[in-house]
Amino acid sequence: MKYVVDADYAQFYKYRHRIGGDVYLSSRNPEKTRMVFTLSDGLGSGVKANVLANLTAHMAEKLSFSPLDAEHSAGIIMNTLPICKERKISYATFSIASLTFDGSQNIAVQLTEYDNPSAILFDGDESRSIKKQRMTLERKGAFKDEHIYTSELTLSNRQRLVFFTDGVTQAGLGTPLYPLGWRKSAVSEFIQSVLKKDPTISSKVLADTVIRKAKSLDGGIPRDDITCAVISVRQPRDLIIATGPPIEPLHDSLLVKKVMCFEGKKIISGGTTAQIFSRELSETVSVDLSSWDAKIPPASAMEGVELVTEGMLTLNQVAHELEQQTPIESMPDHAVKSFLELLQVSDRVFFIVGTKINEAHQDPSIPFDIGIRRTIIQRIRRALEDVCLKETSIEYI
């Protein structure tokens, strides 16, 4: 069994701020042998903090893919960052997790940290210590020696690496329950309790749970930007999407067999495609009026399938939302949101695309970008691979 990486983050900005000083980046090399996740916290908040954190995170990301070792790369970042004239401290902090895949079950991780709270390693629902090496960096203008910590570890099945900014550890600061803030030890205990209740929780949901708890400790009014990122290793969660009728009607039964024998979640997209499944399986397709939306056709339900949707309009909107990186939680409850939620919790996405031409989509009044099914599927696939770092494959029938 090849294990997969489920990495995601969640974030709240400081109260009444529309731009945050915390920046999270994720990227993967073209060969898919390296993944880098970076979290930077700019000094203060707002635009200036955002610019500095962005500079730091993008620099860290580029250097992580270079031949330079972690200590040399961190030194370059530190010597590039300006120092605050008043407080004599760096204008941004950072945590960098660089993952390497060598074909084995375990995934090698190089962790580099500067002034962010220390990352926490979980094996199942138990925390594990991380051995660190300290590098001292003397910088002109700083009032003290500054330290960069590096760690080398491996992640295997059911292990998680959780890292966050000080908006998490300082949540609740000054309250009777947490006069010194939430602190790392209490954060670790909270995460352990969450993992005990739901051992299969996704990285996105776990990160969201942590920042919501931090926000609640601040009385629902974040006093700082709050960001949490989670990297999990687990068995892959698979999703298959069938859209469009086969070019030959004789292949209808083959399409249905391929999908229904698939071990994972299933989406059927397209009215004609849904009719094929309904006929071949003798199952009723019922419209779900609770997902009604003025712009998005409602979803439907069928036994044995997680989601049934209309075709082109829905797929085009899914592609758009993925490309724009629209937060799912901000969307109304409609078919596109349900589609995106299934994509989010899946690691590998398999497409089966029918190649029969649908005359309805040759109507010149229909926009060109929703007139060609394969074009839309390729857009979704690119976004899933480039933005969401998921594995995909396409089969045409």
Query: Helices (H) and strands (E) in the chain — how many of each?
Result: 10, 18
Percent residues over pLDDT 70 in the chain = 91
Q: Quote the mean pLDDT of the chain.
A: 89
Average pLDDT (374-396) is 93
Q: What is the tens place of the pLDDT at every residue in 183-226?
A: 999 999 999 999 999 999 999 999 999 999 999 999 999 999 99
Residue 122, phi-psi category: left (phi > 0), alpha (psi -120 to 50), beta (remainder) = beta
Torsion of CA 58, 61, 64, 66, to 10 degrees: -70
Q: What is the tens place of the pLDDT at every residue in 308-331?
A: 999 999 999 999 999 999 989 889
Binned at pLDDT 50, 70 and 90, residue 143 comes out as: low
Q: Which two tokens stand for residue 110?
A: 């190089």
Check the CA dihedral 212-214-217-218 and report its sign: negative
Torsion of CA 116, 144, 69, 169, to 10 degrees: -10
Average pLDDT (369-393) is 87
Q: Which two tokens stand for residue 97?
A: 């997790």
Binned at pLDDT 50, 70 and 90, residue 370 comes out as: very low
pLDDT in the model for residue 136 = 81
Which residue bears the tokens 């109304």? 332
pLDDT in the model for residue 226 = 97
What is the C-alpha to C-alpha distance for residues 369 and 375, in angstroms, rounded to an integer?
7
pLDDT in the model for residue 369 = 43
Domains within the chain, CATH numbers bracketed: 4-234 (3.60.40.10), 238-396 (no CATH)
